[in-house]
Amino acid sequence: MELRLTILIKMTAPDRVSHLRALVSETLSKCSDDEREWCDDQCLNRWLTGIHDMDKCATSLNAALLWRNQYKPHKIPDEEMAPLNKVGKIYVLPNVVDRQGHHVVIIRLCLDSASDGPIEKCIGQYRKNKAVDKVGLIVDLHGVCIGNLDRQLVMDVLKTMQANYVEQLAYSYMVNAPFVFNTFFKIFNVFIDDATKARISVSGTEYKKMLLLKVEESNIPKEYSGTLDYTFDSDKYHEYIKSL
């Protein structure tokens, strides 16, 4: 065991990538060409950066490959996205990136929608554009109370990101958080890993300075104290997503 650990520690970055690829080769052999294309060196490096233990890294990546093979988030028909896109409960800010070039996703928890569907659909939708590497989340908790808090949606977003998109959550800013949310946050906090936890910040209404750390004021919608003149429009958003 000690010799094996020494060998792994002495591995160069390319060696570690090759070793990880070997550990997931059996799963890859059962997957489609899409999954094999997705599992490139950049993907393997993300997993190795996010999960340092090689065995745990391989276990996580194997699970993610099986998840992708089942849900095929990159092949979601546009019509399946209609319920999610209709009211703008979850959407990628069109033509906007943060200071690091990451796409920004807005999640408005208080909005109602006929059918949210699996969160995989929303995350997979922006991932259709393979150039997207990391994403930042702005989770709007305005109007949320214990009775209408979409707890499952919050859990699904964070669990999906940490399990299937390792090192792709740049940050998650939860804004307009009511006092009661702190209790819920303490409960679901135990279900997320330390790396994801470190990227989550919760704020009440004084959140502008927090957002400006990551996003230019000109790329923050006016409703979130920025200067971007953007109002969600389902038809225009649908066309934007189709263009990705």
How far is it, in rounded angstroms, from Cα 86 to Cα 114? 9
* Domain spans in the chain, listed from the N-terminal domain onward: 2-71, 79-243
Half-sphere exposure of 26 (CA within 13 A, CB side): 5
The answer to whether the CB of 183 falls within 8 A of the CB of 156 is no
How far is it, in rounded angstroms, from Cα 163 to Cα 67? 9
How far is it, in rounded angstroms, from Cα 113 to Cα 157? 16
Q: Does domain 79-243 have CATH number 3.40.525.10?
A: yes
So what's the pLDDT on residue 232? 92
Residues lower than pLDDT 70 in the chain: 1-12, 76-85, 111-133, 146-151, 153, 244
So what's the pLDDT on residue 82? 62
Per-residue model confidence as pLDDT tens digits over 92-148: 899 999 999 998 999 887 765 544 444 545 555 555 544 456 889 999 988 877 666
Go through 57-90 and write b for each residue having 16 or more CB atoms within 10 A of its CB, e for each that does not. bbebbeebbebbeebebbebeeeebeebbbebbb
Q: Is the dihedral of CA 225, 227, 232, 238 positive or negative?
A: negative
